[in-house]
């Protein structure tokens, strides 16, 4: 009988340290992009995904999500808009947090060092809160 693969518990600090480590090549368009027509590398969220147990090659009991395979059922892997929900929850990231980080990584071309500082400083959480307040004001107008 094979053991069911498990995710590895990680913290935001471990994730930020990994972003700054130089071990991960930065890319865009997917958690991990290995397509020849795009830069090969990781989105900042893909680094979190790999730290939590995502791998680049298919394995039994793993589900594909954004270019990485995770030890999740297909349903769990499909549930998250960016990262599997269990990893997003582990890092206290809502879909709004993830969307902002994807924009910083892909559209604004922020370096991993800058993204790590943005997360560590608490500015990401402040920006999410401000966005939510703007949405509430718009909805109540």
Task: Give me the pLDDT at residue 20, please.
Answer: 98
Number of domains in the chain: 1
Q: Which residues contact 102 (CB under 8 A, 6 or more apart)?
A: 43, 45, 82
Task: Give me the pLDDT at residue 78, please.
Answer: 59
The answer to the question of residue 129 being in a domain is yes
- The span from the CA of 116 to the CA of 81, in Å, is 21
Inter-axis angle of helices 44-51 and 112-120, to 10 degrees? Answer: 70
Answering whether pTM is above 0.75, one says: yes
Q: Which domain holds residue 40?
A: 12-140
90 sits in which H/E element: helix 85-90
The answer to the question of residue 6 being in a domain is no
Work out the angle at residue 119's Cα, subtended by the Cα atoms of residues 117 and 122, and round it to the nearest 5 degrees.
100
Q: What average pLDDT does the segment 69-88 reach?
A: 72
The answer to the question of residue 43 being in a domain is yes
Q: Residue 20 is encoded by which pair of tokens?
A: 């700054």
Q: What is the pLDDT of residues 42-65, one digit of tens each?
A: 999 999 999 998 888 777 777 777
Residue 1: pLDDT band with limits 50, 70, 90 = very low
């Amino acid at each position: 009988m094979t053991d069911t693969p498990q995710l590895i518990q990680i913290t935001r600090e471990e994730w930020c340290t990994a972003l700054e480590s130089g071990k991960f090549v930065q890319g865009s368009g997917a958690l991990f992009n290995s397509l020849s027509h795009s830069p090969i590398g990781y989105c900042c969220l893909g680094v979190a995904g790999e730290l939590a147990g995502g791998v680049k090659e298919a394995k039994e009991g793993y589900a594909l999500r954004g270019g990485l395979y995770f030890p999740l059922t297909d349903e769990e892997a499909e549930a998250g808009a960016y990262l599997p929900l269990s990893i997003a929850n582990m890092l206290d990231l809502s879909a709004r947090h993830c969307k902002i980080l994807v924009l910083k990584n892909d559209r604004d071309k922020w370096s991993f060092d800058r993204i790590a500082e943005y997360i560590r400083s608490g500015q990401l959480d402040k920006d999410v809160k401000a966005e939510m307040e703007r949405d509430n004001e718009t909805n109540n107008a």
